[in-house]
Amino acid sequence: MPLVKSGTIIADPFTAVADDAPLPDGPTIVSAARLLANKEALFARNVALGVAWPNNRDVAELEPLLPRLALVALAFPKFRDGRAFSQARLLRERYGFTGELRATGNVLRDQLLMMARAGFDAFELEKAADAGTVHRALTSYSIFYQPTGDGRRTAAETRRAAKGRLA
Amino acid sequence: MYVHDAFDRTFLQERVAEFRDQVARRLSGALTEEEFKPLRLMNGVYLQLHAYMLRVCIPYGTLNSTQLKALARVARRYDRGYGHFTTRQNIQFNWIKLAELPDAMAELAEVGIHGIQTSGNCIRNTTTDAFAGAARDEIEDPRLYAEVIRQWSTLHPEFTYLPRKFKIAITAAKHDRAATRVHDVGLRLRQRDGHTGFEVMVGGGLGRTPFIGQTIRDFLPKEDLLSYLEAILRTYNLGGRRDNIYKARVKIQVHEMGPEAFAEKVEAEWQAIRDGALRLDETAISAIADRFVNPDLPPLADHPPELTAALAEPAFARWHANSVAPHKAAGHAIVTLSLKPVGGPPGDCTADQMDAIADLADRYAYGEIRVAHEQNLVFPHVRQKDLPALWKALDAIGVATPNVGLVTDIISCPGLDYCSLANTRSIPIAQKLTERFADDARIADIGRLHVNISGCINACGHHHIGHIGILGVEKKDEEFFQITLGGKGNSKARLGELIGPAIPESEIVDAVERLVETYLELRTSPQETFIAAVERLGIEPFKERAYAPR
Ligand code: HEM
Ligand code: SF4
């Protein structure tokens, strides 16, 4: 499962831990339940902390904790299950999360651009063979019709800007 | 017509390139069929009984003659020389080879058409009134807003992996020709205090659990159209059921939560985003409006002498009575081309017919063609004085059967002849009915009557909203059909009522004929339509007769 961030394959600095496992020293990803049960202790450790948030739980619950979280991992248990697309946009656009937003689970190259547009910046790819194609997947389109928080200009905005120049 | 520009063209080329790569990966085995499936579905490619099927999107049912010719080319080069127009204003090709699909798509992309989002669990082609921009009873041309929705929903990154498909329909006329109450979202354009907006209905749909859509907002100002839709879709994407494919449509979520609770959730979401980037200010709307080029209709008078003279001919008069509708511009008319010839599969059109229709559109109809929900084609702008000549030309190519809106203008799904989900055939039932009711004078006397046929509970033929609905069911490996009566798809939408046990295939045509005869006997006058009689009398008198002689 290669991890791709900002377009390149990187070694994962985080360790995801099971709920009953002891915490490792470095950056750690815990479950939502463990985070909510022990938040003060976990934040007090002073190492980068991430949470694996399930796709059937309201991300509004996370809002007060976001400034202290380095990472939120959202799940695609099946690539067909697209709830995390909405969660990602809410985290970025409504709650202003600026840390790493990681897509996990059944993450395939044909979904990457949409994930990026929804606010994900890190992808745990399910297939190693997809790693070399990430750049291509992320640049396969130059035209976007709807605004999201990713800042890409929409076709309508580009049209308007072009008109302005001509006028 | 909406005119595509360099942006739209670049986008489509990028899409074809992406699909070409996906097909290559599928053919090489890098993608499994399970992984390829949602990707091909997003491009309108189904795997059917005999072959891959390509469903091509005709945005809100509007085509120009160049596009229709491209469809004819694809039908000829990659298929078996015909295409099938659907109730969702799309066209389907049933015999395309996977390896050739990217080439077929590239040809279509050259004229601005594609199969994007014609299937899969995403926002589908927004459908509207086939008479849009021409109808006398419309407030405004709804295609402007259909185009606004098309752009917003195209490859929407948040809403491409929804629990299930999502269909939006929009109407702007008094008479709802887009069946908005049986869509996931129905939009009805309204005016209030000089301001344009929409009534928003949600949770309609047919299939195995039919529901009529509920109004969750009486008046949504047009500026807020996209933010409100985004709020609905987000509520659905996060909260719609994913545990059971048969309960995954938004109608089930609305039903289980209750429309009020659903509306409240949408409202809360909407308040958080309504002043954001999706707000449609005047510049945004007029930027899209400017890209529509509508024909300059010359000032003409109604009832020109050419028309009056032709009306003396009974065959022309009969066609005129059901195929020609009033236009908002004097001296013009809207013409429906019947794709329901006696004995033919409803909605089929050959490549040669498409070419001929495209030429006739150039000559008589400002090059514009529409696909109607009833699986017919429409010329929205025709000069009344040209009607006699146009009629002769349409008749010569077999698309002037005078049955528009009548008992043989049957809506039918593909059924077992093509569809892998079917219980029964449906096209052959439609064909037999058109043969039984082949007499033009008789069907004119019977009057307005919608017959809808579905080959299984998925209801692609909209049988629930047929005045007479026919649903194929299987019993001990034999084809049986259930009949419903009294369904309606218009603004007073209502689901038909089941009249009793299913009828074997060999008796279904007789049963329908008996229903029609019962109506003829019981109607108070020829002005009382079939549906009005059913509403007045209830289903009892019909039920008795449908099963009568055993
Ligand atoms: C042969 C290939 C086809 C297949 C496999 C197919 C499959 C389906 C399925 C499974 C549904 C139910 C989805 C749901 O309720 O969640 C459905 C609905 C629908 N289909 Fe098809 N279909 C096919 C062809 C067509 C054609 C040719 C038409 C138009 C004539 C059509 C029009 C519709 C419509 C309007 C609905 C929505 C019914 C509703 O309101 O729930 N389909 N289709
Ligand atoms: S109603 Fe059933 S048989 Fe007919 S096309 Fe739809 S899925 Fe196939």
User: Domain holding A80: CATH number?
Assistant: 3.20.20
Mean pLDDT of all residues in B245-263: 96
Which residue's entry shows tokens 């049957």? B410
| Chain A 114-133, residues with CB within 8 Å of chain B CB atoms | 114-115, 117-118, 129
Least Cα separation, residue A16 to chain B (angstroms): 25
Given CB atoms, is A146 within the 8 Å cutoff of chain B?
yes
Domains and CATH numbers, chain B: 6-110 (3.90.480.20), 142-289 (3.30.413.10), 305-396 (3.90.480.20), 411-546 (3.30.413.10)
Nearest-angstrom CA–CA distance, B127 and B362: 24
Q: Which band of pLDDT confidence, cut at 50, 70 and 90, is reported for residue B87?
A: confident
Q: Which amino acid is at B399?
A: V
What confidence tens digit (pLDDT) does each residue in A8-55 have? 899 999 999 999 999 999 999 999 999 999 999 999 998 999 999 999
With cut-offs at 50, 70 and 90, classify the pLDDT of residue A163: low
Chain A residue closest in CA terms to B38: A80
Rounded Cα gap, residues B449 and B368, in angstroms: 28
B160-176 residue pLDDT tens: 999 999 999 999 999 99
Q: Do the chains contact at A145 and B272, CB–CB below 8 Å? A: no
How many residues are there in chain B?
550
Q: What is the pLDDT of residue B422?
A: 93
Kindly state the average pLDDT of the residues A123-142: 86
How many residues are there in chain A? 167
Does B49 contact ligand 2 (Cβ within 6 A)?
A: no
Pick from A143, A148, A152, A160 the residue to mutate for testing the B interface (most B CBs within 10 Å).
A143
CA of B204 relative to ligand 2 center, distance in Å: 18
Average pLDDT over every residue of B391-413:
97
**One-letter amino acid of A161:** A
**Tens of pLDDT along B465-476?**
999 999 999 888
Give the model's pLDDT for residue B550.
53
> Which residues in chain B have Cβ-Cβ distances shorter than 8 Å to A96?
none
- pLDDT, tens digit, 9 for 90 and up, residues B350-391: 999 999 999 999 999 999 999 998 999 999 999 999 999 999
Q: How large is the angle between the packed helices B65-78 and B351-364, nearest 10 degrees?
A: 170
Range of the domain at A108: 3-166
Average pLDDT over residues B239-267: 96
Could you tell me which of B111, B4, B12, B95 has the C-alpha nearest to residue B54?
B95
pTM given for the model: 0.90
Q: From its phi and psi, is residue A27 left (phi > 0), alpha (psi between -120 and 50) or beta?
A: beta
**Distance, CA of A122 to CA of A100 (rounded, Å):** 7
* Inter-chain touch A143–B11, beta carbons under 8 Å: yes
Q: Per-residue pLDDT tens for B222-232?
A: 999 999 999 99
Q: Is B163 in the pocket of ligand 2 (CB under 6 A)?
A: no
pLDDT at A152 over 50: yes
DSSP 8-state code for residue A154: P
pLDDT band, residue A167 (cuts 50/70/90): very low
* Total of domains in chain A: 1
**Tell me: the pLDDT tens digits for B276-291?**
999 998 888 888 888 8
Overall average pLDDT of the A123-128 stretch? 90
B207 lines ligand 2 (CB under 6 A): no
Task: Answer yes or no: is pLDDT of B35 > 90.
Answer: no
Question: Residue B366: which region, alpha, beta or left (left: phi > 0; alpha: psi -120 to 50)?
Answer: left
Nearest CA to ligand 1 atom 43: B460
Q: Which residues lie closer than 8 Å to A32 by C-beta, 6 or more apart?
A: A51, A52, A53, A54, A57
Closest residue, chain A, to B278 (C-alpha): A147
In terms of Cα–Cα distance, which of B19, B237, B9 is closest to B115?
A: B19
Cα B122 from Cα B126, distance rounded (Å): 12
DSSP state string for B308-355: HHHTTSHHHHHHHHHHEEEBSSTTEEEEEEP---TTSPTTEEEHHHHH
Find the closest chain A residue to B151 by CA distance: A145
Average pLDDT, chain B: 93
Ligand 1 center–CA B203 separation, angstroms: 16
Q: Cβ contact (<8 Å) for B10 and A143? A: yes
* Mean pLDDT to the nearest integer, B485-514: 92
Which ligand lies nearest the alpha carbon of B410? 1
| Nearest protein Cα to ligand 1, atom 35 | B460
Model confidence band, residue A160 (pLDDT cutoffs 50, 70, 90) = confident
- Please tell me the residue having the least CA distance from ligand 1 atom 9: B458
| CA dist list (Å): B413 to B81, B126, B350, B378, B455 | 20, 19, 18, 20, 7
pLDDT for B60 = 87
CA distance A39 to chain B (A): 26
